[in-house]
Structure 1
C-alpha cells in the first residue's frame, strides 16, 4: 500500500503540474515573441518531466492502474504539445505582421520623399504633395476654371513659397486673373514674377501679359513702355517677337 500511495501522490503532482499550464492557450494571443518562447520552453520541460514519470512508474502488481495513469499523462502531454503548436503559430503570425507593417511603412515613406524634376530648365527636388497641388491648379486652368485656378495657385504660393514651381505658380495666377478680366490683379501678379524671379524664363511672358493687361485698361503708353522693356531685355525670345508686332498696333 505504501508503494501505491507514493505512486498516487506522484501522479497527482504530475497531473497538477501539467494542468497548471492549460490557461496558456486562452492567453497565447497576448504574448509577445519572447514571452511565447519562454512559455514553450516551460511546457517542453514539463513534457519531459511527465515522460520521465511515465517511464519510472512500472509496478508489475499495479499494471492496470499504472496503465490508466499512463494514458492520462500521455493525454496531458498531447495537450501541452498542442499548446506549443499554438504558441509557435502565434510567433510566426506576429513576425509576419511585423514584416508586413515595415514593408508598408517603407512604401508610404517612399511616396512622401521628394522627387527630382526639371522646372524651367533647372533640376529641383519637389515633394509629392507639392507636385500634386501644382498639377491640380494647372489642371483647373487648362480646364477653363480660371477662378478656381487663380485661388489654387494663390494657395500654392502661400504653402510653398520656396518651391521650384513658385515662379510658375505666380505666372499662372496672373494669367488666371487676366482670363477673368481682372487686369489690375493680373498686372500685380506678373510684376511679382518680374521682381522676385528676374532670371526665370517666364519673365518675358510675364511682361507680355502685363502689356496686354495695360492695353485692356486703355493705357497704351504704359503698354508700349512695357513692350519696349521686354524687347530690350529679352531680345531673342518668342515673347520679344510678339512684342514687336504689338507695338505697331499701339501706334
Structure 2
C-alpha cells in the first residue's frame, strides 16, 4: 500500500517536471527573440549616431573652410585699407596751397593751385572728407563731382589719383585702373610713378603678366630712385620667377 502510494507520488513529480519544462521552453525562446530585437535596435541607434557624427564632422570642415576664406578676405581688406590710410597720411602732409601772387607764379610755374576759389574749395572739401571725416564714399562722390565740374583743373591729376586709391581700396579695380590711367597720362604729375605702379598691380591681379611687367618696367626706368621703383623692381623679380 505504501509502495503504491510512493509510486503515485513519483509519477506526479515527473508529470509536474515535464509540465514545467514545457512551459519554460517557450519562455526562453521569447526572451531570446526580445534580446535579438533589443540588440538590433541598439545597432540601428549606434549607426544613426555615427551618421550624425559624420555629418557634424563634415559640417565642421565646411565651417572651418568658410572661416579660413573669410579670414583671408578680411586680411586682404585690412591690407588695402592700410595702404589707403598710408596714402591718405601722405596727402595730409601735402595741404592744398593758397594761390600765390603773380610774381610767385612766374617763379613756380609747376606749382598746383587755382585762382578760382570755388575750384579750390571744391577740391579741399573732397580732401577733407578723407582726412577729417573719414567719409570715403562721400569723398568718392565729391571727387567725381569735382572732375565733372572742373575737367581741366590743375588738381585733376591728384583728384584722379585719389579716386583711383578709393576705388582700389573698395576692390573696384576697373574704376581704379581708369583713374590711375588718367594720372599716368600726365607726364609731369608727381603721382605718375605710383599710378603706374598701381596699374601694374591691377594688371597682375587680372593675370595679365605682360601688361603688369610693362607698367613695372616704366616705373623702374622712369623713376629709378623712387620708392615706387623699388616696389616695381621687387614685383618684376617675383614675376620673373614664375
Structure 1 residues 225 and 122: CA distance shift in structure 2, 3 A: same
State the match for 2:179 in structure 1.
Answer: 189
Distance in 2 (CA, whole Å) between partners of 1:160 and 1:122 is 18
Distance 1:232 1:208, change over 3 A: same
1:139 aligns with 2:128: yes
Contact 1:146 1:177 in 2 (8 A): no
Which position in structure 2 is the counterpart of 1:235? 224
Q: Distance in 2 between matches of 1:139 and 1:130?
A: 14
Matching residue of 2:189 = 200
Structure 2 unpaired stretches of 5+: 1-97
For residues 27-176 of structure 1, the aligned pairs below 5 Å read: 115-116=99-100, 122=111, 124-142=113-131, 143-176=133-166
Write the deviation string for residues 3-48 of structure 1: whole angstroms up to 9, x where unpaired.
Answer: xxxxxxxxxxxxxxxxxxxxxxxxxxxxxxxxxxxxxxxxxxxxxx
Distance in 2, Cα, partners of 1:168 & 1:189: 10
Q: In the comparison of the two structures, how many residue pairs are matched? A: 137
Q: Secondary structure at the match of 1:126?
A: coil
Q: Which runs of 5+ in 1 are unaligned?
A: 1-113
Q: For the Cα contact (< 8 Å) 2:123–2:155, is it kept in 1?
A: yes
- Offset, 1:130: 1.6
Between 156-165 and 120-129, report the one with greater CA deviation: 120-129
Distance 1:128 1:189 in 2: 24
Higher relative contact order (CA 8 A, sep 6+): 1
The residue matched to 2:182 in structure 1 has which SS? helix
